[in-house]
Structure 1
Amino acid sequence: MLQAYASRDAVQPDLRHFLEELYQGRNLSSFRAGQTIPMNPQDVWVVCRGVVQLSTLYQNGDDALLGLAGPSMPFGLPLTLIYPYQATALSDVDVMGLTITEIDQSPTLAQEVGRHTVRRLRQTEAMLAMAGYRRVEDRLRQLLLLLQMEVGQPVAGGTRLSVRLTHQHLASAIGTTRVTVTRLLGQLRGEGRLIVDANRHIILPLSATL
């Protein structure tokens, strides 16, 4: 399901470089892993370094993963209808804040923000498509493939997911329980389809297929 999605995003324009040239001297906002990133109804954040988790809360208090914003990806209240809408640094991150006025006044900036918003839309559609798989195992495999595309880093023998998602994060994303995800990850690990390194990051081996 995700192979074509991967090939379309093989080369992405770098919004970060554009912003650095446009706003030389503007300070970035930095957040440590686990910190909540505040949001304003009139502001859009653009990720310059790291990965941000976007989520919401159900009425029963459960956390629901909506997506991940990596480098060059914009996020913020002006880009969503979801409430509540939360952004949490999954790793140490640097973000640049832009006002809606700044974006509206620069056609080039508006075009670049729109281009990378489309990346987020594709990611969201891929996550929605996972719900069509009846088997939890299939949903988990598709999620791991998506994470491989979005936050994967090449390492010897495979691809390392650059951020650590808890088993609960993975469970929320595919509509199952943490216990089920723990069991399935154990099975995949036992079959050699994934490796967990010393820092508890998942590695998907080149020699294995999910």
Structure 2
Amino acid sequence: MTFIDLPISPLWLDLVQWGKDHYRDRIFAKEALIPTRPGPLYLVHHGVVRLVSQTTFPSALPPHPPAEALVGLLGIGQPFEIVSHPHFVISAQAHVDGTAVLWLYWNELQQWQALYQQILEQFKAQHRQQLLWMGILGQKSTFHRLLNFLILWGKSMGETPGQDYYLPYPLTHAQLGQAVGSTRVTVTRLLARLRKQGLVWQNENNRLCFNYPGLQSLLT
């Protein structure tokens, strides 16, 4: 499964220029919070956006920081929307320096009908990805959740030289923990185990690489 890329076409460039002309375009430094609200459609046209969910459940226990979960990584040409919910808040953050996002409404997008259809297909692909991700989070074993997450994101969004894949974006161990419902310490320990087996490693761009047949064999 792969996401549908929006090509850098004259229509896409026209949309980006429209965003700049209408002051709907902003550039963000790494880790900056991107102002969002329910209603508009947001499009990433440079860099990477990280979506994080933060729970707002009241607790009878002593105060703890709200639980956070990584719920999405969006690259160039990918859309996102923000939903309102009483028990969690979705925030958007710049995952890399120079991330650029423009926003508009669906009725405004209709003047670019070809892009309108492509963005609908993007949302469908994201929905399929989220269903697979939720299935992974339902597994009891943290080790299996981590293996399946690496395979899912490597095969759907990463790149591959032969039987090896690497994740599309750098992720810290804490962010991997947020993605699989675990902790940074646990992810660090599990990745060290996989490194000793020669199944995962970092490339020169600090992106996590893995051997697909090797990880798959651990799941059987």
TM-score range (shorter-chain normalised) is 0.7 to 0.9
- TM-score, length basis structure 2: 0.77
Cα offsets for 1:166-197 (capped at 9, x unmatched):
21221122222222111101111111111123
Following TM superposition, where does structure 1 have runs of at least 4 consecutive aligned residues deviating by more than 6 angstroms? none
Note if 1:114 corresponds to 2:120.
Answer: yes
Note if 1:139 corresponds to 2:132.
Answer: no
Deviation at 1:88, TM superposition (A): 0.9
Task: Identify the residue that residue 177 of structure 1 maps to in structure 2.
Answer: 183
Task: Identify the residue that residue 73 of structure 1 maps to in structure 2.
Answer: 78
Select between 122-131 and 89-98 the one with higher mean Cα deviation: 89-98
The percentage of counterpart residues that share the same residue type is 28
- TM-score, length basis structure 1: 0.80
Task: Write the distance in 1 (CA, Å) between the matches of 2:49 and 2:71.
Answer: 11
Unaligned runs of 5+ in 2: 57-64
For the residue of structure 1 that corresponds to 2:189, the secondary structure is: helix
Question: Counterparts of 1:5-154 in structure 2 under 5 Å?
Answer: 6=1, 9=2, 12-14=4-6, 17=9, 18-22=11-15, 24=17, 26-27=19-20, 28-59=25-56, 60-77=65-82, 80-82=83-85, 83-92=88-97, 93-103=99-109, 107-154=113-160
Matched-pair contact (CA < 8 Å) for 1:46–1:75: yes
Q: From the superposition, tell whether residues 41 and 144 of structure 1 become closer, same or farther in structure 2 (CA, over 3 Å).
A: same
Cα RMSD over matched residues? 2.7
Task: Write the distance in 2 (CA, Å) between the matches of 1:173 and 1:53.
Answer: 11
Matched-pair contact (CA < 8 Å) for 1:164–1:200: yes
Matched-pair contact (CA < 8 Å) for 2:166–2:207: yes
Q: From the superposition, tell whether residues 88 and 23 of structure 1 become closer, same or farther in structure 2 (CA, over 3 Å).
A: closer
Task: Write the distance in 2 (CA, Å) between the matches of 1:81 and 1:193.
Answer: 40
Task: Write the distance in 1 (CA, Å) between the matches of 2:155 and 2:27.
Answer: 25
Matched-pair contact (CA < 8 Å) for 1:67–1:123: no
Matched length: 200
1:14 corresponds to which letter in structure 2? L
Bigger Cα Rg: 2
Task: Write the distance in 1 (CA, Å) between the matches of 2:202 and 2:52.
Answer: 25
Matched-pair contact (CA < 8 Å) for 1:54–1:85: yes
